[in-house]
Amino acid sequence: MVPSWVILVVSLTYVGTLFGIAWWGDRRAEQGRSLVRNPLVYTLSIAVYCTSWTFYGAVGSAASNGPEFLTIYVGPTLMFLAWWFILRKIVRITRAHRITSIADFIASRYGKSTQLSVLVTLVATAGTMPYIALQLKAVAQSFTILAGPDAAAALNAPLPQVIADTAFWVALAMALFGILFGTRHIDASEHHEGVVTAVAFESVVKLLAFLAVGVFVTFGMYDGFGDLFERARTAGIPAETFTLGMPDGPGRWVSMTLLSMCAILCLPRQFQITFVETVDERHLSTAAWLFPLYLLVISLFVVPIAVSGLMVLPSGVDADSFVLTVPLSQGQEGLALMAFVGGLSAATGMVIVATIALSTMVSNDLVMPALLRIRWLRLTERGDLTGLLLFIRRAAIVAVLFLGYVYYRATGQSGALAAIGLTSFAAAAQFAPAMLGGLFWKGATRSGAVTGLALGFAAWGYTMLLPSMARSGYLSIDVVLHGLGGIGWLRPEALLGMDTLDPLSHALFWSWLLNIGAFVGVSLFGRQSPMERVQATVFVDVFKRSETAAPQVWRRSATVKDLYALIQQFLGRATAHRAFRAYEKEHGVSLPPGREADAELLAMTERLLAGSIGGASARVMVASVAKGEMVSLDEVLKILEETSQVIEYSQRLEQKSTELEQTTAELREANRRLKELDRLKDEFLSTISHELRTPLTSIRSFSEILVDTPNLEAEQASRFLGIIVRESERLTRLIDQLLDLARLQAGHGDWIMEPVDLDKTLEDAAAITAGLFADKQARLILRLPPHPHPVFADRDRLMQVFVNLLSNAVKYVPEDGTGRVMVSALPYGPTWMVTISDNGLGIAREDRERVFDRFVQVPRPDGAPPGGTGLGLPISRQIVEHFGGRIWVEDAPTGGAMVCVTLPVTRHAATPPRSEAL
């Protein structure tokens, strides 16, 4: 026996040393000379996996089940050897998005769902309780063994019954440690460098202590492994204890290996250490081999200690205490004390990290979101919430340890360490489907994860927790033996009559079956919200995008001031100041308070906040100041892709139907046009024959008179001949113009399109028609700009138009010498406009469009024959439109008609000439 005061002094000294190391670690971190920037420290801190379960329980398990305990090491070893595929991805995501806990991780993956983070936190807390109880039990037990039951009782005697318990004091001390180092400050990245350093140190201590006992047993008590096993054989120790084999078949081995593979990822404390606390992704490559090596070394002497314990100690001694009792039996009290310290460090390491991890979850994912939702607390309006956050965390640590203690008191006397530990593992394993599925399967949905986790957790409670409660006497054992309410197929350890599996495999089978089944099933048939899609892409494609700044599509707005205030509220002024200065420096921008924050600044704010209040709450907070939603580019593309598929389809339909409609309309129009052309043709033929007949008739009748009347007066005869000549001239002109119009309308004819000098052409046209003006004693006034102006046209055709218009104008002006025709050219938008106005009869409003039809001649009021052909204006319009211009009639300011012609300046897609059949 070791005097209890010695144990107390040693323990306190040890814990004091831990405090010192943690303090030193934090200080170094503050000075920027971080101790944890070292793969060795990182690996050793991961060894927090080895708790007092490993330290004491592995030997206990080996003593009864042989090398089965190895599975607990094989799982993590496999997981770390395959680090490239899973661990690396989780580390990358956790660092990029400042994930603070496994609850945060899973909730973030599924659209930053508060519901999910609450659920995960509850499961994690429930699952960790047995594990913490296990540590308390181990420490208390080891103390009692070392000091002797009487001494332990004496130490507790003066205290009231409830707290007269070593485990209580252990719990209290651990709560203190957790508070002191886990919640010294609210750090955005949730790094606890001091704690990590201390935990790494503890991993060294427990390893050395265990090795010391192992070496003493193997080489001090015996002559090495061979000798030890040889003697064991002769002492009649069952060979299964120290030879590899699976007496119960591979089932339990497989489930335990799977379980421990999941545990190394999903236990809240492992998640905290491996993913949250890591400062450098590259450390993982060292841990990948060093951590398995650590596990190998620490398991080296498990079987020798177990076997020696079975040999030297009377049967009935708890195998879970062999690490202490074997040295004690050899009078090695110093060694036993050292082993006690090793066990103490294994237990404290686990408890401290687990409580920090849980308190982070409880405050970030449970309490904070709840408080933020309670409106009348007006938390969002409070200036500084860091104090409140710290208080919540501290309270959470105390609560977690208290619950662990309660669990210990409730079930402490029953069950081996390993069994309690496996209960915890199985709870944590319920996170695996949502976590791993979420890493590799974009289609996994929030509803799937929630349903799977809830069902898995329920199954765990029924098949594992319930029997352990029953065995502790809290429930009737009948439930386990005969099923709930005596219904046989409801037996918790043989659901639906499945009694071929061991209880652990059985529990794992049912919980995973329900969990994975619901997760996959609900995901396959469910839909994702846009936010879920964003997060799915962000997680699954984490390696496809740059470290932090995923391309974001800007859809929210907030001012720099708002965001600053938000960070200040949760992280304090100093942090806010630092973060914004760093951002300004990094991006080379300045951030005046009133400026609109860009997407990246919003993302930074959310990340920073996520570090202290969790992703889900951070999202709520940022959303409270920013309007709108942020969606990654990939996500938008995906959403667009889907929507556009639908749109495209309906568009195609629409297009098809409009196409059809169009074709029908075109057909109808073509038909109408054909009919119209047919009618026009008939009309034209009748008009033309009429038009041609008129001059022909007069030619013929006058010719007949000349022929029939031989002795016609010479004067008479020459008048008739004159008529005949004029009429045949008219006939020729008519036929010429008809042919010309037909050519134009058919689109034939050689057009020499080129820049033509407008002024010159007008002057030429004036010269040609000068005779007509002289005949009528009319005046032609040209108002042309001083400089030459090119228009894009065919020169001869343009001339034809002007000559026609001028001769029309002069035809209708008064004959008494007051006749005036005015020609002017002016720029008119991108074209030139030529107007030819006269002081003649003018054209009535209703005739202004009609005169451009063939053969239309407005009868003169005096009944005089109109002369002309009625084809001049149609031909002119045809030509002008071919140039791309327009021609129309208005009132002239001088009283008569004014014909306006526009002509483009440059090459212009000519409106296609209306081709009408002739």
Binding site for ligand ADP (CB under 6 A): 808-809, 812, 838, 840-843, 851, 856-858, 866, 868-873, 896-897
CB of residue 705 vs ligand ADP: minimum separation in angstroms?
27
**Cβ of 271: how many Cβ atoms within 10 Å?**
30
Token readout for 231 is 């003697």
Q: Which of 93, 132, 12 is nearest to 265 (CA)?
A: 93
Q: Which is nearer to ligand ADP, 182 or 870 (CB)?
A: 870
CB of residue 725 vs ligand ADP: minimum separation in angstroms?
19
Identify whether the C-beta of residue 325 lies closer than 8 Å to the C-beta of residue 317: yes
Q: Which is nearer to ligand ADP, 276 or 805 (CB)?
A: 805
Token readout for 650 is 């309906």
Q: Which is nearer to ligand ADP, 212 or 843 (CB)?
A: 843
Q: Which of 66, 49, 43, 45 is nearest to 302 (CA)?
A: 66
CB of residue 896 vs ligand ADP: minimum separation in angstroms?
6
CB of residue 690 vs ligand ADP: minimum separation in angstroms?
15
- Strand 831-838 relative to strand 887-891, pairing: unpaired
Q: Which is nearer to ligand ADP, 189 or 857 (CB)?
A: 857
Q: CA-to-CA distance for 594 and 839, rounded, in angstroms?
A: 72
Q: Which is nearer to ligand ADP, 206 or 730 (CB)?
A: 730
Q: Which is nearer to ligand ADP, 572 or 874 (CB)?
A: 874
CB of residue 652 vs ligand ADP: minimum separation in angstroms?
51
Within 8 A by CB and 6+ apart from 672, the residues are: none
CB of residue 737 vs ligand ADP: minimum separation in angstroms?
8
CB of residue 791 vs ligand ADP: minimum separation in angstroms?
22
Q: Which is nearer to ligand ADP, 411 or 869 (CB)?
A: 869
Q: Which is nearer to ligand ADP, 20 or 893 (CB)?
A: 893
- Map 239-307 to HEC letters: HHHCCCCCCCCCHHHHHHHHHHHHHHHHCHHHHHHHHHCCCCCCHHHHHHHHHHHHHHHHHCCHHHHHH
Q: Which is nearer to ligand ADP, 478 or 853 (CB)?
A: 853
Q: Which is nearer to ligand ADP, 424 or 737 (CB)?
A: 737
Identify whether the C-beta of residue 189 lies closer than 8 Å to the C-beta of residue 183: no
Q: CA-to-CA distance for 772 and 768, rounded, in angstroms?
A: 9
CB of residue 805 vs ligand ADP: minimum separation in angstroms?
8
Q: Which is nearer to ligand ADP, 74 or 735 (CB)?
A: 735
CB of residue 702 vs ligand ADP: minimum separation in angstroms?
22
Identify whether the C-beta of residue 242 lies closer than 8 Å to the C-beta of residue 303: yes
Phi, psi of 315 (to 5 degrees): -65, 145
**Cβ of 295: how many Cβ atoms within 10 Å?**
23
CB of residue 843 vs ligand ADP: minimum separation in angstroms?
5
- Map 767-816 to HEC letters: HHCHHHHHHHCCEEEEECCCCCCEEEEEHHHHHHHHHHHHHHHHHHCCCC
CB of residue 871 vs ligand ADP: minimum separation in angstroms?
6
CB of residue 802 vs ligand ADP: minimum separation in angstroms?
13
- Strand 552-553 relative to strand 631-632, pairing: antiparallel
Token readout for 408 is 């210990």
Q: CA-to-CA distance for 329 and 402, rounded, in angstroms?
A: 35
CB of residue 822 vs ligand ADP: minimum separation in angstroms?
12
Within 8 A by CB and 6+ apart from 38, the residues are: 283
Q: Which is nearer to ligand ADP, 69 or 812 (CB)?
A: 812
CB of residue 804 vs ligand ADP: minimum separation in angstroms?
6
Identify whether the C-beta of residue 100 lies closer than 8 Å to the C-beta of residue 190: yes
Within 8 A by CB and 6+ apart from 299, the residues are: 58, 69, 70, 73
How is 590-656 classified by DSSP, letter by letter? ---TTSBP-HHHHHHHHHHHHHHH-HHHHHHHHHHHSEE--EEHHHHHHHHHHHHHHHHHHHHHHHH
CA count, 13 A, side-chain hemisphere, 219: 7
Q: CA-to-CA distance for 234 and 251, rounded, in angstroms?
A: 31
CA distances from 442 to 92, 251, 334, 525, 528 (A): 17, 32, 57, 14, 10
**Cβ of 827: how many Cβ atoms within 10 Å?**
11
Identify whether the C-beta of residue 179 lies closer than 8 Å to the C-beta of residue 397: yes
CB of residue 724 vs ligand ADP: minimum separation in angstroms?
20
Q: Which is nearer to ligand ADP, 259 or 821 (CB)?
A: 821
Q: Which is nearer to ligand ADP, 111 or 842 (CB)?
A: 842
Q: Which is nearer to ligand ADP, 735 or 856 (CB)?
A: 856
Identify whether the C-beta of residue 505 lies closer than 8 Å to the C-beta of residue 249: no
CB of residue 667 vs ligand ADP: minimum separation in angstroms?
35
- Measured from each CB, the residue nearest to ligand ADP is 868
CB of residue 720 vs ligand ADP: minimum separation in angstroms?
24
Dihedral, 330, 335, 340, 341 alpha carbons, nearest 10: 180
Q: Is 399 helix (H, G, I), strand (E, B) or coil?
A: helix
Q: Which is nearer to ligand ADP, 299 or 808 (CB)?
A: 808
Q: Which is nearer to ligand ADP, 450 or 809 (CB)?
A: 809
